[in-house]
Amino acid sequence: MERTQPDPVDVGLRVLLEQPSYAAQVLITLARLLEMDYQQPVNGLALERAMDIAADTVLRPLPDVVTRDSLTRAYAAMPPTAGISRGEYALRLRAAAKELG
């Protein structure tokens, strides 16, 4: 018998594989937050606060082990911030997120 409906497991797997990783989602969310004040320079306090919000937004419902791994990967992928605006850093974060997949 031929199926007219795709297998729900196949559909679910396809959706999961097409989404960015959790680490990449954190970086994308962080980029969005920094873009709100894109002309300001990147500084440690603003970056730390934005990262806390991004991580909470993306990772809150996940198990601790997934959260820790995702944050480790996100922090490792973050580019240097020296002397650039938040808007420029947001562009660099998006590029880093693409690399994470």
- Each residue's pLDDT expressed in tens, for the chain with a length of 101 residues: 566 777 776 666 666 567 899 999 999 999 999 999 999 999 989 999 999 999 999 999 999 999 999 999 999 999 999 899 999 999 999 999 999 97
Query: Residue 18's pLDDT is what?
Result: 72
The two three-digit tokens of residue 78, written as one number: 């973050």
Query: Residue 16's pLDDT is what?
Result: 59
Put residue 20 in one of left, alpha, beta given phi > 0 → left and psi -120 to 50 → alpha: beta
Which residues fall within 8 angstroms of residue 79, CB to CB, at 6 or more apart? 89, 92, 93, 95, 96
Q: How far apart are CA 90 and CA 74, in angstroms?
A: 14
Q: How far apart are CA 58 and CA 26, in angstroms?
A: 6
